[in-house]
Structure 1
């Protein structure tokens, strides 16, 4: 009777264990399961051995054939339900050790109850003190393996001069599960400290990584656990969440680098690698929704046409070229003064579109021969005029160059378009042309006027006006990044300076649409969203670098530069704006005002004489809405 009961109990427990192993244990964790079974068995034998002072009394050995399988099976089952096997040894934390302790307590209590109720049958006389010793030995053995694994890993990394990145994950359960699985198989230099999510209860774990709390507590946890990297997964990679997290980090004086995996598709694919991780950039904070345009008109306008882009190697010009090639023009003429910039964009376009005819011309818009040759030989039908000097302080120091390129160079392009019956010229302008305070803005305003003053002929002129673009050459973003890289200080001219910003691809996308739908002599204005304080942007860039403003990196106020104003406008007082059928594109309808035509011959003479005072007097004469007296 006793033997049959022993046998039936062991068989039943083994059958239950087999079900768990077959249905619930993935094959890759089977090794962990086996080593745990071995550790549990060895711990129990050692406890038994210690209890009887390193001797095995004959009468006690008889209990082992029942007690040992019972202990192993019960502990394996309890350990499974406590998630002991789901943790990664090299990421073991206090939370994991707590789970192991609880699993040991529950399994030992369960074994104690089983033995009490079975003492009258087949475990009569079994020493219960063995369970107390087993509890202690098993806890130290199971947890010790994991702690030792982590110590060895960190020691090895230290020997290889590797530093572990203490990482906090913000993401849903599915996203967090996939990314942690990826980390465990390839990115061993990260220590996953915890998960933040609004929909998961604190205390549970995913693959051994604990859920710490909700998004509102991110800053506190980053400070508490000395986090150096926060990984943002959907849905926490939106601009609103990023801004909230950065505000928390600033409040807690915590310096973390923010990185993200942009899409669910990247995570769901299960093939994430380091290239999928991107640092959070300033564009991610602006929160501009993707532009929604019907590009059918643009395709009809460009497809099969012969297009020329001046300033093709610049920030806007090169993106214009990239986007134009997608519409399959018959020929794309790259007109650029810089040899290196021309080579760079030409090479990239030819590699990306070997089927297209791309003509690369080193030329200067100030040379009538250069421009005429480019247009006549290539039978150009549409011109995007992006060549210009755009740096405000430099043009204050070199005003004649601004006049020579932005005004006289533009006049050459305009006249040559008319001469060779170019269908349309699209002039790329700037918000600094409105009520200008600088030489650069004033010369761009004159270029706009040159287009508006032309007599009606075969060429249509459209002006597209917009504000600053992120990461363009000469913008504050690359400058700030370089200053941060060099350890500071980051220089800001005034805490009150505000600017409008959009990304280069978005700006060009809108330029192509606006240039297509604009009528002759229209000034098309791109909606720039909410203005951004440059001082705030500098602080955010420092924080995105994992540093603390005015602690790790100083922000230095230098004062407004010559020609600089604190705010920008997109319309003059006389201009009225009208909506177009397209998002973020408006047309400025200027009231009929008597305009004194721009005297190009006089400007050529004054430029040749380097008569800067006279040139500046002309600006006041031609641009009565100027605000030179408001400049720094």
Structure 2
């Protein structure tokens, strides 16, 4: 056994320590009671009764102390409630002793006044013993993560108990709630939330109650103003905590994700996913695995990304770009029933610097892929698009708009082709949140392009679930958009991340990048149709002549300047 484990506090060790201490102090208390009773000169006839008095008091008092739970309290949380129970245990035990004296006509010849004197001395000794130990322990723990809990519930109780057992590196100070209906929770004092600003020297706050996003945001602002930056959320897993993140404060969390519909769509199907190693693609892979896909085919040109997701999900791995000739062999061999097309160049400034590469990959690679799906009679093809396709000001957005048009109008035979458009997802590779996190980790100010720039945000898992859900209800030819909620100012996002970090950093405005919009849009016009899910809408777009579209796209290979002719509302650099 390790030496550290021998001295690790346990309930059993704590009980034995209390019990031995109480017996020792009770013996001293009785002897001192005799000394006081006889002015420090105990006659021999009464001195011989001391062992009997000690035995009687211990036989009666110890069980009552046990009954009033004096041996189940952790030292550093010995409270006023526990002190009251100590008094009750003494009163009842000594009343019981006096009753025994009367009932037995005091055959032991113990002076009755000894019981009264000993009761007060014992209370002083045993109570002082507990509070002195608490003071010693508090002295060693007060700088050890003083923590408050927000919420009266079982999560708080479990976490406090874990802290008492030394399983969590925190020191519980108080519990706060909007409507406290108890005074103590696991021996920790409960306060009204209005008392939060009066709390001092708190390092950590643990939120155990369910809060709406606005309530959570408001509470976080209150805590950071009090210089409490270590804010954690209790998860649904026992004693598991996670640091609060910008995703918790800003992401829209749709309430109408229909897992039953998704499972019907995916279960026992052969699913091919492009861009399978990316932020969106990898999550779609995980969800297809979760919902029981018969076989998953992962396509990605990035070796490392494909390797990472392959370590999580058992699937067929195809290392190639969507322009690769080997993809036709994949369709021939595995005969996918569902295709989720998530592969694309998405970084706006890089696409602006490399427009031909962007067009080659995003347009011609996607068209080739769609045509393969039609040729091999894939049942359903889901094209993932972006809000940057709306009135695009950059090549990336225009390339995605072209594929939306192609997917809508191509003669698809037995293949149902649908596009799903949504905004930014929080935490995706190359996006603003990980970029800001890296800057904060390096103690650098956060660069924001413009004070008024806004973006829509959604969590990756929720966005991917809605993509699959849209695919499930699609009949072919639809352009779905996901309801992204309210747009968020990037300046506000940056400030919240700085506040959560507790660092003295600033926001620096650096100017819009080439092709970048101030405001992203999800709708081209207001003629949108509702589905049975509030989070999924359909854009009502008219059909256009496919042959004309196809011919114009072919011309792009030789003349990228024709881009505005294919996307008339494109306002980027190639439109000039």
Q: Does 1:170 align with 2:145?
A: no
Q: Does 1:291 align with 2:256?
A: yes
Quick one: which of 365, 388, 391 aligns to 2:322? 365
**Which residue of 1 is the match for residue 283 of structure 2?**
319
Quick one: which of 495, 517, 522 aligns to 1:570? 522
| Residues 39 and 142, structure 1, Cα contact 8 Å, conserved in 2 | no
- SS of equivalent residue, structure 1 residue 308: strand
Q: Does 1:147 align with 2:112?
A: no
**Which residue of 1 is the match for residue 556 of structure 2?**
603
Change over 3 Å in CA distance of 1:623–1:39 after alignment to 2:
farther
Structure 2 unmatched runs, 5+: 1-10
In 2, distance between residues paired with 1:515 and 1:112?
A: 77
Quick one: which of 392, 401, 409 aligns to 2:357? 401
Q: Does 1:44 align with 2:1?
A: no
Listed one character per residue, the Cα deviations across residues 526-573 of structure 1 (whole Å, up to 9, x for unaligned) are 1222323333333333444xx33xx53433333332222222211113
- SS of equivalent residue, structure 2 residue 340: strand
Once the 2 structures are TM-superposed, how far is the Cα of residue 112 of structure 1 from its aligned partner? 11
Change over 3 Å in CA distance of 1:584–1:336 after alignment to 2:
same
Listed one character per residue, the Cα deviations across residues 404-423 of structure 1 (whole Å, up to 9, x for unaligned) are 11112122222333343434
Alignment of 1:218-617 (within 5 A): 218-221=196-199, 224=200, 226-233=201-208, 235-236=209-210, 239-260=213-234, 262-263=235-236, 266-267=237-238, 272=239, 276-285=240-249, 286=251, 288-293=253-258, 295-296=260-261, 298-299=262-263, 301-350=265-314, 358-367=315-324, 369-455=325-411, 457-544=413-500, 547-548=501-502, 551-573=503-525, 576-591=527-542, 597=549, 599-606=552-559, 615=560, 617=561
Change over 3 Å in CA distance of 1:491–1:58 after alignment to 2:
farther
How many residues were matched structurally? 554
| Residues 298 and 318, structure 2, Cα contact 8 Å, conserved in 1 | yes
| Residues 219 and 254, structure 1, Cα contact 8 Å, conserved in 2 | no
| Residues 390 and 521, structure 2, Cα contact 8 Å, conserved in 1 | yes
In 2, distance between residues paired with 1:289 and 1:418?
A: 32
In 1, distance between residues paired with 2:197 and 2:155?
A: 21
**Which residue of 2 is the match for residue 611 of structure 1?**
none
| Residues 448 and 490, structure 2, Cα contact 8 Å, conserved in 1 | yes
Listed one character per residue, the Cα deviations across residues 584-609 of structure 1 (whole Å, up to 9, x for unaligned) are 11111114567962623332124xxx
In 2, distance between residues paired with 1:470 and 1:590?
A: 29
In 1, distance between residues paired with 2:12 and 2:181?
A: 28
- SS of equivalent residue, structure 1 residue 258: strand
Structure 1 unmatched runs, 5+: 1-25, 156-162, 351-357, 607-614
Change over 3 Å in CA distance of 1:477–1:73 after alignment to 2:
farther
Q: Does 1:622 align with 2:574?
A: no
Listed one character per residue, the Cα deviations across residues 270-314 of structure 1 (whole Å, up to 9, x for unaligned) are xx4xxx222233333346244332634x55554554432221211
Change over 3 Å in CA distance of 1:455–1:134 after alignment to 2:
closer
In 1, distance between residues paired with 2:137 and 2:529?
A: 68
TM-score by length of 2: 0.81
In 1, distance between residues paired with 2:117 and 2:259?
A: 79
Structure 1, 175-184 or 129-138: larger mean CA deviation? 129-138
Once the 2 structures are TM-superposed, how far is the Cα of residue 41 of structure 1 from its aligned partner? 1.0
Structure 1, 246-255 or 69-78: larger mean CA deviation? 69-78
Once the 2 structures are TM-superposed, how far is the Cα of residue 375 of structure 1 from its aligned partner? 2.2
Once the 2 structures are TM-superposed, how far is the Cα of residue 463 of structure 1 from its aligned partner? 1.0
| Residues 63 and 123, structure 1, Cα contact 8 Å, conserved in 2 | no
TM-score by length of 1: 0.75
Once the 2 structures are TM-superposed, how far is the Cα of residue 66 of structure 1 from its aligned partner? 8.4
In 2, distance between residues paired with 1:459 and 1:628?
A: 33
In 2, distance between residues paired with 1:105 and 1:359?
A: 71
In 2, distance between residues paired with 1:618 and 1:49?
A: 109
Once the 2 structures are TM-superposed, how far is the Cα of residue 497 of structure 1 from its aligned partner? 2.6
